[in-house]
Amino acid sequence: MRIALIGYGKMGKAIEEIAVAKGHEIVLKITSSNTEEFTTEALQKADVAIEFTNPHSAVDNIKKCLDAGIPVACGSTGWLERWEEVIDYNVVKNGCFLFASNFSIGVNLFFELNSYLAGLMAPHTDYEVTTEEIHHTQKKDAPSGTAISLAEQILQQITRKKQWVNHISDNPTELEIISERIDPVPGTHKIKYQSDIDDIEIIHTAHNRKGFAGGAVLAAEFLHGRKGVYNMKQVLGL
C-alpha cells in the first residue's frame, strides 16, 4: 500500500517506521517546510493518507485529501467544532474518512473499559469522578482529544454530570479534566472515582509512540478501498 504522510514530525516518523516494516511504501511526506508539494497530483500517487498535524491546519488538509479522492485517517485533535463540516464534505466528495482522538489499540480498549466502568458507577452517587491527562510540552491542545473522548463517555453514563471543564471545579454537575504538560511523557490518562470509603482508578500510560503509530497504520490498511466515515471501534471490531 502507498501512504501519504501529512505531517512528518515525531508521530509521522514513527508511523513511517512501522508502515515500512509492514511492507508499505511512503510516497509523500508533507511538513511545514514543503507545503508546495502538497498537491492533488502528489496525493494521487498514494492509496491512503494519514494526517497528523495541528488543530489549525487539520480540516484544510482533510479536505485536500478528499478533493484528491484519497481516503484519509486523521489523528489531529482540537478541531472538532468543525466536525459536521468535514462529514458533509466527505459526503459531497463520496470520500472515505476516519478520525480517532487516539489510534492506540490499548487506548481504544481503555475507552471500552471506561464506558463500562462509568455505567457501573452511575448509581453510586457517593463516588466523585475526576479525570486527568498528562502529555509532553509540545502537545498543542488541552485537554487532549483522548481526555475529551473519555469525558464524553462518562457524561453519557453519569447523567448528574452535565459538562466537562478543564480546571478544578467545586460544581457537582461539572466533570473535571486536569491537564498537565511534562516532558517527555507521550500520554497518560487517569479516571478516578473517589469516596470517603475507597477509591477506584483506571489508568492508561503510553511508554512511547509505537502504539499510536501502529494503530494509525492499521486504520490506513482498513480504509484502503472503502467509502464512508469510520472510527477505531470499527477498525478493531469492538
Q: How far apart are CA 106 and CA 158, in angstroms?
A: 24
Judging by beta carbons within 10 Å of its beta carbon (0-12, 13-18, 19+), is residue 55 exposed, middle or buried? Answer: middle
Q: Based on the residue annotation, tell me whether 135 is a catalytic residue of this protein.
A: yes
- Tally the C-alpha atoms within 13 A of residue 144's C-alpha that lie toward its C-beta: 26
Rounded-to-integer distance, Cα 183 and Cα 10, Å: 14
Torsion angles phi and psi, residue 195, rounded to 5: -135, 175
Which residue among 64, 139, 189, 204 is the active-site one? 139
Separation between Cα atoms, residue 80 and residue 145, nearest integer Å: 9
Catalytic residue, from 24, 64, 135, 204: name it: 135
Task: State how far the Cα of 87 lies from the Cα of 228, in Å rounded to an integer.
Answer: 9
Interacting residues of 108 by C-beta distance below 8 A, sequence separation 6+: 100, 102, 215, 232, 233, 236, 238
Secondary structure (DSSP) of 209-222: SHHHHHHHHHHHHH
Please give the distance of CA 178 from its chain centroid, rounded to a whole number: 18
- Active-site residue set: 135, 139
